């Protein structure tokens, strides 16, 4: 099989969200609020436990029963995405209601995200080989400013975001749209992602699939680099 194009997932693959502590600190700063050390630590632990930070969890989270249905379709549109994650955050008592919206707004800020250390090198190498790249993400907001802010946008030929299509991975329509956007056949395309359920949907249209581990940036310095050997 000759790979003529590569599709990447966003969160946990090319980029990783900041820590829960950093996320909460930024929301506090944005609202001019403060928490005592003990309160801050308890809030961080609580937000971690319920998986309130989008893209932050590296372990299975037990979703509260009253939010399970919403979480299952959270990436279908922007409204449900916001409702799902602010709903999770509201499971944790915080001293001011403004913090829940501030937390959601913060996770969409480009400065809340960091590319994995080898992301730029891998994208540069793909461009050097003449291999076009697309991004396919289950998400409820426009992630393109994150790529622009971190200098990776010039390497991306097409973005396919679930909320703009009304379906979410593993629905094959998203991968088909990405292949069409790059002008390549699925059989000539490699999908790279961290979710063995959602990203595996690319195989249903004939793409090859390669998985990476969803880890903090400091713990995965070269997780993307091995895919170059596959090409």
- Quick one: 54 and 132 in the same domain? no
Domain holding 169, by residue range, is 5-16+113-230
Q: pLDDT per residue over 117-173, tens digit each?
A: 999 999 999 999 999 999 999 999 999 999 999 999 999 999 999 999 999 999 999
Q: What integer pLDDT is reported at residue 1 of this predicted model?
A: 66
Q: What integer pLDDT is reported at residue 62 of this predicted model?
A: 85
Q: Using pLDDT thresholds of 50, 70 and 90, give the confidence band for residue 230.
A: confident
What does the angle CA 179 – CA 123 – CA 189 come to, to the nearest 5 degrees? 25
- 2: pLDDT strictly greater than 90: no
Here the CATH number for the domain that contains residue 142 is 3.40.50.1000
Q: What integer pLDDT is reported at residue 224 of this predicted model?
A: 98
- 61: pLDDT strictly greater than 80: no
Q: What integer pLDDT is reported at residue 129 of this predicted model?
A: 97
Q: pLDDT per residue over 71-123, tens digit each?
A: 999 999 999 999 999 999 999 999 999 999 999 999 999 999 999 999 999 99
Question: 170 preceded by cis ω (within 30°)?
Answer: yes
- Quick one: 91 and 158 in the same domain? no
- Quick one: 198 and 117 in the same domain? yes
- Quick one: 22 and 12 in the same domain? no
- 50: pLDDT strictly greater than 70: yes
- Quick one: 137 and 217 in the same domain? yes
Q: What integer pLDDT is reported at residue 58 of this predicted model?
A: 62
Q: What integer pLDDT is reported at residue 59 of this predicted model?
A: 65
Q: What integer pLDDT is reported at residue 104 of this predicted model?
A: 98
- 60: pLDDT strictly greater than 90: no
- The beta strands (E) that lie in the chain are given as 5-8, 15-17, 113-115, 133-137, 158-161, 189-193, 208-211
Residues in the chain: 231
- Quick one: 66 and 25 in the same domain? yes
- 8: pLDDT strictly greater than 70: yes
Q: How far does CA 189 lie from the centroid of its chain? A: 20
- Quick one: 11 and 121 in the same domain? yes
Indicate the number of domains in the chain.
Answer: 2
Q: What integer pLDDT is reported at residue 145 of this predicted model?
A: 98
126 phi-psi bin (left φ>0, alpha ψ -120 to 50, beta other): alpha
- Quick one: 39 and 107 in the same domain? yes
- Quick one: 191 and 174 in the same domain? yes
Q: Lowest mean pLDDT: which of 59-73, 96-110, 217-231?
A: 59-73
Say what the pTM is: 0.95
- Quick one: 12 and 126 in the same domain? yes
Mean pLDDT rounded to a whole number for the chain: 96
Tell me what the mean pLDDT of segment 23-29 comes to: 98
Structure tokens at 72: 């299952």
Structure tokens at 111: 């400065």
- Quick one: 12 and 28 in the same domain? no
Q: Which of 111, 132, 165 is the last residue of a domain?
A: 111
Q: CB atoms < 10 A from the CB of 86, how many? A: 14
Q: pLDDT per residue over 194-211, tens digit each?
A: 999 999 999 999 999 999
Q: Which of 68, 88, 111 is the last residue of a domain?
A: 111
Please state, in angstroms and as integers, the Cα–Cα distance from residue 42 to each residue in 25, 47, 94, following that order: 13, 9, 10
- Quick one: 96 and 139 in the same domain? no
């Amino acid at each position: 099989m000759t790979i003529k194009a590569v599709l990447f997932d966003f969160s946990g693959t090319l980029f990783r969200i900041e820590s829960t502590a950093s996320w909460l600190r930024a929301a506090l700063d944005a609202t001019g609020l403060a928490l005592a050390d003990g309160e801050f630590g308890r809030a961080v632990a609580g937000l971690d436990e319920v998986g309130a930070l989008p893209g932050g969890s590296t372990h299975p989270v037990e979703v509260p029963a009253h939010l399970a249905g919403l979480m299952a379709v959270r990436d279908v549109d922007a409204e449900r995405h916001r409702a799902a994650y602010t709903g999770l955050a509201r499971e944790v008592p915080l001293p001011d209601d403004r913090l829940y919206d501030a937390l959601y707004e913060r996770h969409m800020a480009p400065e809340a995200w960091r590319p994995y250390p080898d992301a730029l090198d891998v994208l540069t190498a793909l461009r050097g080989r003449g291999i076009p790249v697309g991004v396919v993400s289950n998400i409820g907001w426009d992630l393109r400013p994150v790529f622009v802010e971190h200098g990776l946008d010039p390497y991306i030929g097409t973005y396919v975001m679930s909320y703009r299509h009304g379906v979410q991975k593993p629905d094959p329509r998203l991968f088909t749209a990405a292949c069409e956007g790059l002008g390549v056949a699925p059989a000539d395309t490699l999908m790279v992602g961290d979710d063995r359920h959602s990203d595996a949907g690319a195989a249903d249209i004939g793409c090859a699939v390669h998985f990476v581990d969803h880890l903090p940036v400091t713990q995965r310095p070269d997780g993307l680099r091995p895919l170059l050997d596959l090409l």
